[in-house]
Amino acid sequence: MFARVAVLSYGVIAYFVFFFTFLYAIGFVGNWVVPKTIDSGEAGPLATSLIINALLLSVFVVQHTVMARPRFKKWITQFIPVAIERSTFVLLASASLILVFAFWQPAPGVIYDASATWAKWPLILLSLAGWATVLLSSFVISHFDLFGLRQVYLHWRQTDYHHLPFNIRGIYKLVRHPLMVGFLIAFWATPKMTVGHLFFAVMTTIYIFIGVWFEERDLVTYFGEKYLGYRAAVRGFVPIPKKGPRSGG
């Protein structure tokens, strides 16, 4: 009983660390409310700042890319319970983002500034819509499975975990990666684009496309023809219809 409670507690803690990190990320990118944002702080030499920021982002990229691969999951579950594998991924992903938030170096040179124009609030609302898309998309594909809570809950109930079936519903009928579309909107829609913000947006965009390539390769391996049919019918990021059969929903 103690072991099951410990696993459940670990998963719940990991989830709340993620949720705090997600909320902080909204303020960090948007320069709202939180004490340290993407443009706050004393600026140092530009080259040094960009190198530090690149290294910080690389920690997240390496962690996220390596730990998301099936081979790594198989390896790490030799040392930790299977039920907390996803929670561990979520916890370390959150920790790597907290590292970015804490040590990010501002590069305040202004690319454009629409803060004093009519475009300010539409851009802010567009950014918030991007964050909302991220959150809502996660619920369409099972938010609690994605962030490890379903796994630890089933373990606590002494019920075997099973992967969710491949279904196409909601916004996933329009694009294959709405969660990533949400991130792209949130990162790029800003009334004031600084050099530091632009660097963040460009680097994360590159990683999103690389990460999606790895993810789709794993999905094809796992779901086979179902996912291939889905990929043939629905575009990855732009909601423009494609010709071809849909599978899985």
Alpha helices (H) along the chain? 2-30, 46-67, 70-76, 85-103, 120-140, 143-146, 149-156, 178-188, 195-223, 225-233
- pTM score, whole prediction: 0.93
Picking from 69, 73, 35, the residue whose alpha carbon sits closest to that of residue 211 is 69
Paired residues of 99 in beta bridges: none
Paired residues of 194 in beta bridges: 110
Return the pLDDT at 243.
63
Return the pLDDT at 242.
75
The Cα 89–Cα 67 span in angstroms is 6
Q: pLDDT (tens digit, 0 to 9) for every residue of the chain, 249 residues total?
A: 888 999 999 999 999 999 999 999 999 999 999 999 999 999 999 999 999 999 999 999 999 999 999 999 999 999 999 999 999 999 999 999 999 999 999 999 999 999 999 999 999 999 999 999 999 999 998 999 999 999 999 999 999 998 888 888 999 999 999 999 999 999 999 999 999 999 999 999 999 999 999 999 999 998 999 999 999 999 999 998 876 544 443
Query: At 239, phi and psi to the nearest 5?
Result: -75, 60
Picking from 91, 101, 82, 84, the residue whose alpha carbon sits closest to that of residue 41 is 101
Give the DSSP H/E element, type plus range, for residue 117. Answer: none
Return the pLDDT at 90.
97
Return the pLDDT at 241.
83
Return the pLDDT at 224.
92
- DSSP SS3 for 112: strand
Enter the tokens of residue 202: 């460009």
